[in-house]
Amino acid sequence: MSWTPICDFDKLLPERGVCALVDGRQVAVFRTFDGTLHALDNLDPFSGAYVLSRGIVGTRKGEPTVASPLHKQVFSLVSGVCLDEKDVSVPVYPVRVADGYVEVSV
Amino acid sequence: MSRIVVVGYGPTAHRLVETLTSKGFDGRITVIGEEPRPAYDRVALTSYLSGTTAEDLTYDVPAGTVTRLSTRVTGIDREARLVTLSDGGTEAYDVLVLATGSAPFVPPVPGAEHAFVYRTLEDLDAIRVAAKDAVEGVVVGGGLLGLEAADALRALGLKAHIVEMSPWLMPRQVDEGGGAVLKQHIEGLGLGVHAGAGVKEIVADENGQVIGLRKPDETLLDAQVVVFSAGIRPRDELARSSGLEVGERGGIVVDSAMLTSDPAIYAVGECALAGGMIYGLVGPCNTMAEVAADRIMGGSATFDGADMSTKLKLLGVEVAQFGSMTGALDVTYMDPVSGVYKKLFISDDAQTLLGGICVGDASPYTQLRPFVGKALPASPSDLLFSGAGANLDLPDEAQVCSCNNVCAGDIRTAIADKGCTDVPGLKACTRAGTTCGSCVPMLKQLLEKSGVEVSKALCEHFTYSRAELFDIVRVRNITTFSQLISEHGQGRGCDICKPVVASILASLHNGHVLEGERVTLQDTNDHFLANMQKNGTYSVVPRIPGGEITPEKLIVIGEVARDFGLYTKITGGQRIDLFGARVDQLPEIWRRLVEAGFESGHAYGKALRTVKSCVGSTWCRYGVQDSVGLAIALELRYRGLRSPHKLKSAVSGCARECAEARSKDFGIIATEKGWNLYVAGNGGFKPRHADLLAGDLSTEELIRTIDRFLMFYIRTADRLQRTATWLEALDGGLDYLREVIMEDSLGICADLDAQMEYHTATYADEWAATLDDPEKLSRFVSFVNAPGLPDPSIVFEQERGQIKPVMVR
């Protein structure tokens, strides 16, 4: 598995996302309140726009989530499954912190 | 197969046919009515003058029922069991039901032929025509219907007078003390009250045009429209001519099964004399119809008199009466300052509640009517202070809905066994609350007491409504989301509660919306201070206060749009929207705009958008005030004010209303003397004309009133509730709003004023502040690992000389 560094961990605000371009793929990376990282594909499957990194981060019944900024469908940050329409999901990617750097693998 | 013929097609006939049909009656039902339409809701008759149509009021004809409209029954052949009709036809019956109703009583005074009555839609049509050229109107009769007729005349723009024979108004519902308070209310609305007065003659000129009403003391009351509402007389002429037994003073005599002296003929409603009484209220008439239907189907129901309790709101005054109007003991609460009069009648041992009268505050009616004839649930003085009775437990047999005879036990069964969880469900299941609606508060109370949660929780993270959260944040001076959710919520929030809290914090504390933790709460658009469009790009709207802009500034907007390749469009709010900006372009675009003197237009926020204006007295030959100047002042005053939903405004310089102010959350229309303020208008999905809150205000009064209106709305509205729906849901409506913000009835005006003062003093343009903050600016990138790189997924093509987005996957 090859890891691509994208930014300093400190660059990520708690409960907000950023977007990174990795091998031509748009990856949305989120830092939750407790410092856990999650990476999803940035493409919102409902609207076809690359915007998921700009959604609101929160929880649903304890599960960390992001809501699409366009039409508010909520996705699990853990599984990528849309919690409002369970047969829709977005890819999730491995993400880690190494030497204070956030790295993703696509 | 049995054949039922119903004579008369009013609400009672409708209830009879409906009951038969719903009980599965399989014979033939024919209804013969003299009016040109099926039965309609007479309780809501007055709403016909304010826009409700005849179709809205008319009941659906139950399936399978044959109707013969515009047809009178001219005779009954009881031997042959058939009725003869005005069109020459006949109709045979096995069972005949007389539901011929009543006619308004017109006293035999000279000139009475020039007066109107108030009973049918046609009567209202005629009154409406006559009111067109009239200035003053008189209603003869100060009872329930008379007051309603007076309200109708007032709504038609007339100065209305009420003439009542008795020494006070509504003598059947209130006693002398209540009458005095009622008079005070009604005179306060500008109506003339002439109690203890009779009518000598209706005076008309030689063309038959009414010029006034002469009282027995010879004084003449000027009026061009006179309406009689002096009681009803049962329509018993058909029964009389057919040899059925009728009462000495009218009414078809019936027994407790609603049968007349002919066992094949029933009589129900206002034409029936049951137990020596004529009933003119919808509740007892419905019960009679149900009893007759039950009997026709072989049942054994009886009508043993009815509760004549009444609760109504006439001319904005609540009046209610329940149970008896006399008793060995009585306890009175009277507050002439706020116009409230409440009285309870009690048995001589002070144990049993016998009845009550309320004027100005009908809460005892809702709370205590079910206790009539039963032990007093608390001391009379406790019960008379408002709210004291709110938590009483109703006995199962207590009647909740007198129109449809539904008891508390029926409601409890519907909740427990039939799964009703809300008021609409209870209405559908039990019919309670479907006629006059006065028992709806009691339905809510029963729901709450049965443990059905009427949830007002914002989302799974907060059990509070937005208004409650607002108070928590305000009173405890909470400044962060984390503090609020750890102390008053659970989990870490979501796309519903976070923007709500962001908005509350912004309304209360101002400060930059992207500062610290607040950046994580902001919805899509606030997050980048721009409006996200379908392809993930943003549109930019600089503020153009009042829609006034210099040529130099117009040129800057054009240059920015050209240099960044943006699509431009004029908005509905008199400004210019620039579309197609990538997130990384926003700071550069705004640097140019801020340098030229522009500020954020908050098109992205739940906040004040624009104050639109017409050109006003400066240029327009019709304008009476400087609408542009006021619009600019208002837009600058309220810019940046975060609220539960977007706020729009407009100022028109004269009554021609070119700025369309009455479609706005707050709209101002110039008058010769100042400004009229309209509130709670809306365009959008469900348009609503704004209501006049206050007229002829000075500029200073106007601004103070808008300040308070906005702050009160911001404090109390629900999430994403526009002012239109907020006002419609506000208990007490416009009158209450006026009391709160113009008369300071809650004592909060100083607070509201201070809050607005704080807002205006601390406002700062959030785009200029963002440009000065490198940390905030660093977030405006498409890719965190390639800050200079534009998003390759954003593609445009050309249309009519400008860009448009292309969606690529």
CB neighbours of residue B302 within 10 Å: 12
Domain count, chain A: 1
Q: How confident is the model over B399-450, as pLDDT tens digits?
A: 788 778 888 889 988 888 888 887 778 888 888 877 776 677 778 778 877 7
Residue B453's pLDDT is 60
Q: Which of B523, B527, B786 sits opposite A21 (nearest CB)?
A: B786
Tokens 């007065």 found at: B197
Residue B775 contacts A where some CB pair is shorter than 8 Å: no
Residue B426's pLDDT is 86
Q: Which of A18, A47, A58 sits opposite B493 (nearest CB)?
A: A58
Q: Which of A16, A56, A62 sits opposite B495 (nearest CB)?
A: A56
A21/B789 Cβ within 8 A: yes
Residue B480 contacts A where some CB pair is shorter than 8 Å: no
- Strand segments, DSSP code E, in B558-625 are 567-570, 576-581, 608-613
Residue A77 contacts B where some CB pair is shorter than 8 Å: no
Residue A74 lies in a domain: yes
The encoded tokens of residue B45 equal 């008759």
Distance from CA of B581 to the nearest CA of A (A): 14
Q: Which of A19, A43, A55 sits opposite B783 (nearest CB)?
A: A19
Among A31, A32, A38, A51, the strongest candidate for a mutation testing the B interface, having the largest count of B CBs within 10 A, is A51
Q: Which of B520, B786, B789 sits opposite A13 (nearest CB)?
A: B520
Tokens 């005779």 found at: B75
Instruction: Report chain A residues whose CB lies below 8 A from the CB of B784.
Output: 6-7, 11, 18-20, 29
A64/B782 Cβ within 8 A: no
B524/A69 Cβ within 8 A: yes
Check residues B240 and B415 and name the one with the higher pLDDT: B240
Tokens 């880690």 found at: A96
Distance from CA of B51 to the nearest CA of A (A): 37
Exposure string for B518-542, b = 16+ CB within 10 A, e = fewer? bbbbbbbbbbbbbbbbebbbbbbbb
Residue B432's pLDDT is 86
CA B206 to CA B566: how far, in whole Å?
Answer: 74
Residue A3 contacts B where some CB pair is shorter than 8 Å: no
The encoded tokens of residue B555 equal 């040129």
Helices H, strands E: what count in chain B? 25, 39
Distance from CA of B522 to the nearest CA of A (A): 8
List of residues 6+ apart from B605 with CB closer than 8 A: B513, B525, B526, B642, B646
Q: Indicate the DSSP class of residue B658.
A: T
Among A27, A41, A50, the strongest candidate for a mutation testing the B interface, having the largest count of B CBs within 10 A, is A50
Distance from CA of A21 to the nearest CA of B (A): 6
CA B466 to CA B166: how far, in whole Å?
Answer: 51
Answer whether residue B323 shows pLDDT above 70.
yes
The encoded tokens of residue A1 equal 């598995």
How big is the CA angle at B171 (ends B340 and B372), to the nearest 5 degrees?
70
List of residues 6+ apart from B621 with CB closer than 8 A: none
Distance from CA of A83 to the nearest CA of B (A): 13
CA B461 to CA B484: how far, in whole Å?
Answer: 11
Residue B679's pLDDT is 97
pLDDT band at B241 (very low <50, low <70, confident <90, very high): very high
The encoded tokens of residue B364 equal 């005892």
Answer whether residue B515 shows pLDDT above 70.
yes
Answer whether residue B189 shows pLDDT above 70.
yes
Residue B734 contacts A where some CB pair is shorter than 8 Å: no
CA B97 to CA B8: how far, in whole Å?
Answer: 9
In three-state secondary structure terms, B728 is helix
Cα torsion through B435, B455, A75, A12, rounded to 10: 130
What ipTM describes this predicted complex? 0.95
Instruction: Report chain A residues whose CB lies below 8 A from the CB of B782.
Output: 19
A74/B535 Cβ within 8 A: no
Measuring CA to CA, how many Å separate B606 from each of B286, B581, B646, B667? 49, 21, 4, 18
C-beta separation of B498 from B461 below 8 A: no
pLDDT band at B303 (very low <50, low <70, confident <90, very high): very high
pLDDT band at B546 (very low <50, low <70, confident <90, very high): very high
Residue A28 contacts B where some CB pair is shorter than 8 Å: no
Beta strand B159-164 pairing with B232-234: unpaired
Check residues B47 and B228 and name the one with the higher pLDDT: B228
Highest mean pLDDT, choosing among B240-249, B303-312, B337-346: B240-249
Q: How far is CA B307 from the centre of its chain?
A: 27
The encoded tokens of residue B440 equal 């709806």
A59/B461 Cβ within 8 A: yes
CA B25 to CA B296: how far, in whole Å?
Answer: 9
Q: How far apart are the first and last CA of chain A?
A: 9
Q: Which stretch of B223-237, B424-438, B600-614, B739-753 has the lowest confidence by average pLDDT?
A: B424-438
Answer whether residue B164 shows pLDDT above 90.
yes
Residue B159's pLDDT is 93
* Orientation of helix B408-416 relative to helix B440-449, angle to 10°: 50
In three-state secondary structure terms, B167 is coil
Segments forming the whole domain that contains residue A56: 14-93
**Annotated binding residue at B494?**
no
Q: Give residue B295's identity as a one-letter amino acid code.
A: R
Q: How confident is the model over B362-376, as pLDDT tens digits?
A: 878 877 888 888 888
A47/B528 Cβ within 8 A: no
Question: Taking Cα atoms as reference points, which of B134, B225, B181 lies closest to residue B315?
Answer: B181
Answer whether residue B27 shows pLDDT above 80.
yes
B495/A55 Cβ within 8 A: yes
Domain CATH number, residue A49: 2.102.10.10
Residue B758 contacts A where some CB pair is shorter than 8 Å: no
Q: Indicate the DSSP class of residue B553.
A: H
CA B447 to CA B432: how far, in whole Å?
Answer: 13
Q: Which of B520, B534, B809 sits opposite A14 (nearest CB)?
A: B520
Q: How far apart are the first and last CA of chain B?
A: 70
Distance from CA of B527 to the nearest CA of A (A): 8
Q: How far is CA B275 from the centre of its chain?
A: 38
Cα torsion through B153, B159, B164, B169, rounded to 10: 80
Residues of chain B with pLDDT > 90, as a percent, come to 67
Residue A73 contacts B where some CB pair is shorter than 8 Å: no
A56/B494 Cβ within 8 A: yes
What are chain B's domains? 3-103+234-296 (3.50.50.60), 112-230 (3.50.50.60), 307-391 (3.30.390.30), 393-452 (1.10.10.1100), 466-522 (no CATH), 525-600+783-809 (3.90.480.10), 605-764 (3.30.413.10)
Cα torsion through B593, B596, B602, B607, rounded to 10: 170
B460/A60 Cβ within 8 A: yes
Residue A98 lies in a domain: no
**Annotated binding residue at B654?**
yes
Distance from CA of B557 to the nearest CA of A (A): 27
CA B79 to CA B101: how far, in whole Å?
Answer: 24
Q: Which of A11, A61, A69 sits opposite B460 (nearest CB)?
A: A61
Measuring CA to CA, how many Å separate A39 from each of A16, A71, B149? 12, 20, 69
Instruction: Report chain A residues whose CB lies below 8 A from the CB of B519.
Output: 13, 16
Residue A23 lies in a domain: yes
Residue B398's pLDDT is 77
The encoded tokens of residue B717 equal 């509205």
B809/A59 Cβ within 8 A: no
Phi, psi of B183 (to 5 degrees): -60, -45
Residue A5 lies in a domain: no
Q: Which of B461, B520, B536 sits opposite A15 (nearest CB)?
A: B520
CA B677 to CA B710: how far, in whole Å?
Answer: 13
CA B764 to CA B640: how far, in whole Å?
Answer: 8
Q: How confident is the model over A21-57, as pLDDT tens digits?
A: 999 999 999 999 999 999 999 999 999 999 999 999 9
Q: How confident is the model over B76-111, as pLDDT tens digits?
A: 999 999 999 999 999 999 999 999 999 999 989 999
Give the HSE-up count for residue B224: Cα atoms under 13 Å, Cβ half-sphere: 16
Tokens 């691509």 found at: A4
Residue A9 lies in a domain: no
C-beta separation of B691 from B734 below 8 A: yes
Residue A98 contacts B where some CB pair is shorter than 8 Å: no
Residue B330 contacts A where some CB pair is shorter than 8 Å: no
Q: How confident is the model over B449-496, as pLDDT tens digits?
A: 777 665 678 888 998 989 999 999 998 889 999 999 999 999 999 999
| Entry field: residues in chain B | 809
Phi, psi of B237 (to 5 degrees): -65, -35
A51/B784 Cβ within 8 A: no
Residue A45 lies in a domain: yes
Residue B368's pLDDT is 83
The encoded tokens of residue B537 equal 């790009």
CA B353 to CA B793: how far, in whole Å?
Answer: 77
CB neighbours of residue B792 within 10 Å: 13
Answer whether residue B614 shows pLDDT above 60.
yes
C-beta separation of B227 from B137 below 8 A: yes
B90 - beta bridge partners? B84
A21/B532 Cβ within 8 A: no
Question: Taking Cα atoms as reference points, which of B641, B643, B648 lies closest to residue B662?
Answer: B648
Mean pLDDT across the stretch B619-646? 96
B534/A58 Cβ within 8 A: no
How big is the CA angle at B182 (ends B329 and B270), to the nearest 5 degrees?
80
Check residues B310 and B607 and name the one with the higher pLDDT: B607
Instruction: Report chain B residues whose CB lies below 8 A from the CB of A67.
Output: 494-495
Give the HSE-up count for residue A57: Cα atoms under 13 Å, Cβ half-sphere: 29
Beta strand B136-140 pairing with B225-228: parallel
Residue B392's pLDDT is 65
Answer whether residue B696 shows pLDDT above 90.
yes
Residue B460 contacts A where some CB pair is shorter than 8 Å: yes
Residue A24 lies in a domain: yes
Answer whether residue B313 shows pLDDT above 90.
no
Q: How confident is the model over A74-98, as pLDDT tens digits?
A: 999 999 999 988 899 999 999 999 9
Residue A7 lies in a domain: no
**Annotated binding residue at B459?**
no
State whether the Cα torsion B446-B448-B449-B452 is positive or negative.
positive
Residue A67 contacts B where some CB pair is shorter than 8 Å: yes
Instruction: Report chain A residues whose CB lies below 8 A from the CB of B532.
Output: 51, 54, 69-70
Instruction: Report chain B residues whose CB lies below 8 A from the CB of A32.
Output: 492
Q: Give residue B402's identity as a one-letter amino acid code.
A: S
How does the average pLDDT of chain B come out, rounded? 91
Residue B454's pLDDT is 59
Exposure string for B466-476, b = 16+ CB within 10 A, e = fewer? bbbbbebbbee
**Annotated binding residue at B749?**
no
CA B572 to CA B650: how far, in whole Å?
Answer: 11
